[in-house]
């Protein structure tokens, strides 16, 4: 595994190449490396409570729903909850199912003054294969990183 500094550098290079408006985009393995070796890093899981209960969760992750199940209705208190629970000086890595909601959360966090907001690419479950099955191509679970039911 690479060191956390090189992970953050690679993450920054990805956002520069893709013109994303936040600090960086990390793979699941890079996110894990940063979380394990940097006490000022936090993982914020933005999946719905139903997803956590049905699919699994990452130990020690902070959970703030981006949208509510059923219907995936936007959480109108997301920004306020984030600001109340997460210090804006931290490295904040956002994770969702596939990397889309976490991208949106990282964009919002950057707008709120979180200068070290990162999106975790691939998400917890990763992209779906031709049979619409997840966790077989990429994502946190596919990488064999820690999670619980």
Q: Which domains does the chain have, with CATH numbers?
A: 4-120 (3.40.250.10)
pTM of the model: 0.96
**Per-residue confidence of the chain (149 residues) as pLDDT tens digits?**
578 899 999 999 999 999 999 999 999 999 999 999 999 999 999 999 999 999 999 999 999 999 999 999 999 999 999 999 999 999 999 999 999 999 999 999 999 999 999 999 999 999 999 999 999 999 999 999 999 99
Give the 3-state secondary structure of the chain: CCCHHHHHHHHHHHHHHHCCCCCEEECHHHHHHHHHHCCCEEEEECCCHHHHHHHCECCCCEECCCEECCCCEECCCHHHHHHHHCCCCCEEEEECCCCHHHHHHHHHHHHCCCCCEEEECCCCCCCCCCCCCCCCCCCCCCCCCCCEC
CA distance 104 to 110: 10
């Amino acid at each position: 595994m690479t060191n956390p500094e090189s992970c953050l550098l690679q993450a920054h290079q990805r956002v520069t190449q893709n013109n994303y408006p936040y600090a960086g985009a990390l793979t699941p393995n890079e996110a894990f490396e940063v979380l394990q070796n940097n006490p000022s890093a936090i993982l914020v899981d933005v999946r719905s409570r139903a997803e956590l209960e049905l699919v699994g969760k990452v130990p020690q992750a902070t959970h703030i729903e981006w949208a509510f199940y059923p219907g995936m209705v936007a959480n109108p208190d997301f920004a306020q909850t984030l600001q109340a629970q997460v210090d804006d000086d931290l490295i904040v890595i956002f994770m969702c199912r596939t990397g889309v909601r976490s991208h949106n959360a990282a964009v919002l966090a950057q707008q709120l003054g979180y200068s070290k907001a990162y999106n975790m690419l691939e998400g917890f479950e990763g992209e779906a294969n031709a049979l619409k099955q997840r966790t077989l191509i990429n994502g946190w679970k596919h990488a064999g990183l820690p999670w619980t039911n």
